[in-house]
């Protein structure tokens, strides 16, 4: 038999050199975070792809089938585990590839999460296309202040910008936290400025996402021109977002709480430090459905990625925590002054 030489790829080395998680959060509360008191942030991707919009810059790709069937069983079982954990979840964001407000299963899961005593905030990214009256009925007796909506304006499908901003403001008047948002897709840059002005007039914070992908044969966000950067910089919510999403700042080796104070959960219950490790097929920290609880690291570890573009995860870095304080919901945070006090939120 002829032996093949061993090839050491970056992925192989990552599997071999990554430390093993040392802290357990069991489902029965016998040990783990119930003892160490850590508050967690959870980024949960249930795998729903259904969407009524066809945005050319969608992270799932323009040709992705957004009508494929989704089996909600694992989603509901993961919710069962999350609400039973003997740990405080500071914020949980549902990062679906489609529109969450179109799914009765997602809405039911959000209701259960919002009513759970161990979860302080639940966040959704939405195009806000459902009628506001339907959302008002759904909110009903929910603790609306625990809910956060990142409402993204997609000009190819959403229609009038002013009507969209008015709808975001109306949703906020019902009690939940709201943020208006958009993607800095190269052909749409003038609309980013218009949305900023309209949001400012309505008293709404604006979150601008960098476009990550190919357009016109160029790779973004690196391909933004100096003129485009000069236009966008005043529109971006915070210095942190500019550095990590638009510059972009390298994160490799930077101390990060992913896997320690934050965790990403995939559609089948697999738990990862972050979406970088999930997308590259690295071994999970464990599985919430199989294990019942969570397995985490006892310290911050160096980031393995050259760049991190996930808005729910760049805020896990030690650099972020030294400069900002979270305001419950993932996309709302305020800068600290040099003494560590909280300053006024940027607009």
d(CA 298, CA 284): 16
Q: Average pLDDT of 38-42?
A: 86
C-alpha distances in Å from residue 141, one per residue of 71, 107, 111, 175: 28, 14, 10, 11
**Residue 3 scores a pLDDT above 50:** no
Tokens 């104070």 belong to residue: 261
Q: Average pLDDT of 40-61?
A: 88
Kindly report, residue by residue over 207-265, the tens digit of the pLDDT.
Answer: 999 999 999 999 999 999 999 999 999 998 788 889 988 988 888 999 999 999 999 99
What is the dihedral angle through the alpha carbons of 224, 225, 227, 230, rounded to the nearest 10 degrees? Answer: 40
Q: Within 13 A of 312's CA, how many CA atoms are on the CB side? A: 28
Q: Average pLDDT of 270-275?
A: 93
- What is the pTM (predicted TM-score) of this model? 0.86
**Residue 340 scores a pLDDT above 60:** no
**Residue 344 scores a pLDDT above 80:** no
Q: Is the previous residue joined to 221 through a cis bond, with omega within 30 degrees of 0?
A: yes
The answer to whether 311 and 330 have CB atoms below 8 angstroms apart is: yes
Q: Average pLDDT of 181-185?
A: 95
Q: Is the previous residue joined to 248 through a cis bond, with omega within 30 degrees of 0?
A: yes
In this predicted structure, what is the pLDDT of residue 11? 44
What is the separation, in whole angstroms, between the first and last Cα of the chain? 67
Q: Average pLDDT of 323-341?
A: 68
CB atoms within 10 A of CB 304: 21
CATH topology of domain 23-335: TIM Barrel (3.20.20)
In this predicted structure, what is the pLDDT of residue 4? 38
pLDDT band at 65 (very low <50, low <70, confident <90, very high): low
Q: Average pLDDT of 76-91?
A: 93
Tokens 């459902």 belong to residue: 130
pLDDT band at 32 (very low <50, low <70, confident <90, very high): very low
Name the residue among 228, 253, 251, 41 with its Cα closest to residue 148.
Answer: 41
Kindly report, residue by residue over 305-323, the tens digit of the pLDDT.
Answer: 888 878 778 888 899 889 9
In the chain, % of residues over pLDDT 90: 57
In this predicted structure, what is the pLDDT of residue 58? 86
Name the residue among 182, 178, 232 with its Cα closest to residue 207.
Answer: 182
d(CA 175, CA 248): 35
What region does 229 belong to: left with phi over 0, alpha with psi -120 to 50, or beta? alpha
Name the residue among 80, 132, 127, 92 with its Cα closest to residue 269.
Answer: 80
Kindly report, residue by residue over 134-163, the tens digit of the pLDDT.
Answer: 999 999 989 999 999 999 999 999 989 999
């Amino acid at each position: 038999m002829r032996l093949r030489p061993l090839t050491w790829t970056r992925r192989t080395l990552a599997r071999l050199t990554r430390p093993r998680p040392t802290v357990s959060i069991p489902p029965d509360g016998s040990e783990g975070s119930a003892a160490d008191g850590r508050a967690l942030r959870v980024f949960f991707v249930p795998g729903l792809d259904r969407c009524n919009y066809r945005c050319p810059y969608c992270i799932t790709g323009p040709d992705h089938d957004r009508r494929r069937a989704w089996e909600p069983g694992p989603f509901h079982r993961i919710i069962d585990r999350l609400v039973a954990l003997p740990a405080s979840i500071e914020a949980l964001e549902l990062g679906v590839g489609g529109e969450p407000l179109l799914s009765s299963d997602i809405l039911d899961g959000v209701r259960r999460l919002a009513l759970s005593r161990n979860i302080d905030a639940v966040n959704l990214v939405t195009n806000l296309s459902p009628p506001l009256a339907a959302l008002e009925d759904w909110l009903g007796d929910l603790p609306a202040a625990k809910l956060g909506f990142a409402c993204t304006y997609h000009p190819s499908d959403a229609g009038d910008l002013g009507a969209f901003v008015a709808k975001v403001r109306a949703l906020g008047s019902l009690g939940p936290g709201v943020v208006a948002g958009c993607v800095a897709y190269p052909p749409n840059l003038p609309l980013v400025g218009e949305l900023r002005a309209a949001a400012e007039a309505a008293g709404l914070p604006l979150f601008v996402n960098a476009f990550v992908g190919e357009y016109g044969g160029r790779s973004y966000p690196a391909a933004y021109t100096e003129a485009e950067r000069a236009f966008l910089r005043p529109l971006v919510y915070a210095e942190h977002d500019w550095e990590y999403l638009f510059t972009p700042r390298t994160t490799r080796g930077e101390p990060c709480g992913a896997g320690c104070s934050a965790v990403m959960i995939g559609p089948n219950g697999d738990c990862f430090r972050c979406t970088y490790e999930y997308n590259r097929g690295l071994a999970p920290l464990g599985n919430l459905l199989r294990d019942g609880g969570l397995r985490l690291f006892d310290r911050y570890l160096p980031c393995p990625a050259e760049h991190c573009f996930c808005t729910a995860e760049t805020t896990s870095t030690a650099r972020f925590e030294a400069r900002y304080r979270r305001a419950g919901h993932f996309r709302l945070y305020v800068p600290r002054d040099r003494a560590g006090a909280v300053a006024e939120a940027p607009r």
